[in-house]
C-alpha cells in the first residue's frame, strides 16, 4: 500500500539540496531554476553590465538584487509589466540597435530640421526624448498628486529621473524603492508609451503624449478595480471559509490613495475612485481629445 501511495514527503529535484514535499519541490520558480541552472551557471543578466557600459549610459551604481526582487506588484500583472521588464533587460527595439534601419534618428522627430547631429533613437532616449518627456512629466506629476510619492525632480536632474522611471528607485539612494503604487503605475506607463511609440512606425500614427497618458490612467484604473474586486471577494471567503486565504490588508494599503473610503451602506462591489484619481482622469480626458 505504501508503495502504491508513497507518503507526501521526501522529494527533491537533482539540483536541490534538501528533501521536501512534492508540491514544495516543484513550484514554477523551482522548476525554472532547475531547468536553467545547467545552461547559465553563475552568469548574470547582460543588462547588469550593459546599462553602465554603453555609449548612452546611466551615471549611477545599481543595486540589482533589489531591482530583481521588485519585479511583480500587487497592481501590475506580468502582461502589464512586460515592456518594462524587457526594457530593464535592454531588450526593446530602438533604431540604433538595428544596423539595417534606414535611419537611426528618433522617429518622433524631436529635433530642429536644421540640427546637424539629430538625437539617436537609443534605449535611454525613450526616457530622455523631449516629446516623450511630456508624457513622463505627466506621469511623475500623477505619482506626486495622487499616489503620495515625494516629488521626483524634472529631467534636469538626470540621475533622479532615470532612477525613478527606469528602475523604480527614489532619488535619495540606490537601494530604496518607490512605493508599490508608483512602481506599478510606471510599469503600466512603459507598456502604454512603448505601444504608442511603436505605432508611429508600424501604423504611421502621430505620437500624442496626452493620449498615451490617458491610456496609462485607464490601464492603471483597470488594475485598481481588479484588485479591489478580488479583495472584496477574499473578504467574503474569509468570512465563510476555513481555508487559508491571503490577508487583504496588503491590498488595502495598495489601494489607499486610489479608491474613495468605503461606505458600508453602498454596494460592496461598487468601488468609486478617490477624488484625486478621478480628477486626474477627467483632466487627462479633456487634454487628450
Ligand atoms: Zn526623440
**Ligand 1 center to 15 CA (angstroms):** 47
Domain spans, the chain: 1-43, 61-288
* Residue stretches of the chain with pLDDT short of 50: none
At 145-203, the pLDDT tens digits run 999 888 877 666 788 889 999 999 998 888 899 999 999 999 999 999 999 999 999 99
From 132, 110, 119, select the one nearest 194 (Cα to Cα).
132
The three three-digit cell numbers of residue 222, written as one number: 483597470
Distance of CA 262 from the midpoint of ligand 1 (Å): 44
pTM: 0.87
Q: How far is the CA of 148 from the centre of ligand 1 (A)?
A: 30
pLDDT the model gives residue 250: 82
Q: Give me the pLDDT at residue 6, please.
A: 63
Residue 73's alpha-carbon distances to 77, 165, 217, 224, in angstroms, are 7, 16, 17, 12
CA-closest candidate to residue 97, choices 119, 121, 117, 118: 121
Summary mean pLDDT of the chain: 89
Instruction: Give 129 Cα–ligand 1 centroid separation in angstroms.
Output: 4
Exposed / middle / buried, residue 228 (Cβ in 10 Å: 0-12, 13-18, 19+): buried
User: CA-CA distance, 67 to 50, in Å (whole number)?
Assistant: 15
pLDDT digits (tens, 9 = 90+) for 231-243: 888 887 777 777 7
* Contact between residue 173 and residue 163 where contact means Cβ atoms under 8 Å apart: no
Amino acid at each position: 500500500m505504501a508503495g502504491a501511495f508513497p507518503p507526501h514527503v521526501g522529494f527533491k529535484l537533482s539540483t536541490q539540496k534538501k528533501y521536501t514535499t512534492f508540491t514544495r519541490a516543484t513550484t514554477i520558480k523551482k522548476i525554472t531554476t532547475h531547468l536553467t541552472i545547467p545552461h547559465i551557471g553563475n552568469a548574470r543578466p547582460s543588462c547588469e553590465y550593459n546599462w553602465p557600459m554603453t555609449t548612452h549610459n546611466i551615471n549611477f551604481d545599481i543595486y540589482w538584487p533589489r531591482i530583481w526582487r521588485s519585479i511583480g506588484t500587487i497592481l501590475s500583472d506580468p502582461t502589464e509589466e512586460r515592456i518594462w521588464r524587457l526594457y530593464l533587460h535592454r531588450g526593446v527595439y530602438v533604431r540604433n540597435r538595428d544596423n539595417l534601419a534606414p535611419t537611426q534618428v528618433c522617429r518622433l522627430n524631436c529635433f530642429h530640421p536644421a540640427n546637424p547631429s539629430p538625437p539617436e533613437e537609443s534605449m535611454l532616449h525613450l526616457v530622455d526624448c523631449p516629446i516623450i518627456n511630456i508624457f513622463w512629466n505627466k506621469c511623475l506629476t500623477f505619482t506626486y498628486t495622487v499616489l503620495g510619492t515625494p516629488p521626483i525632480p524634472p529631467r534636469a536632474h538626470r540621475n533622479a529621473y532615470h532612477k525613478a522611471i527606469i528602475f523604480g528607485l527614489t532619488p535619495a539612494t540606490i537601494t530604496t524603492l518607490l512605493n508599490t503604487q508608483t512602481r506599478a503605475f510606471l510599469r503600466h506607463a512603459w507598456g502604454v508609451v512603448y505601444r504608442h511609440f511603436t505605432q508611429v512606425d508600424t501604423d504611421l500614427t502621430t505620437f500624442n503624449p496626452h493620449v498615451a497618458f490617458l491610456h496609462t490612467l485607464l490601464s492603471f484604473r483597470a488594475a485598481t478595480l481588479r484588485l479591489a474586486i478580488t479583495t472584496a471577494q477574499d473578504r467574503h471567503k474569509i468570512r465563510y471559509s476555513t481555508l487559508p486565504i491571503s490577508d487583504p490588508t496588503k491590498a488595502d494599503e495598495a489601494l489607499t490613495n486610489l479608491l474613495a473610503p468605503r461606505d458600508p451602506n453602498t454596494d460592496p462591489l461598487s468601488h468609486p475612485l478617490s477624488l484625486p484619481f478621478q480628477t486626474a482622469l477627467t483632466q487627462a480626458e479633456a487634454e487628450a481629445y
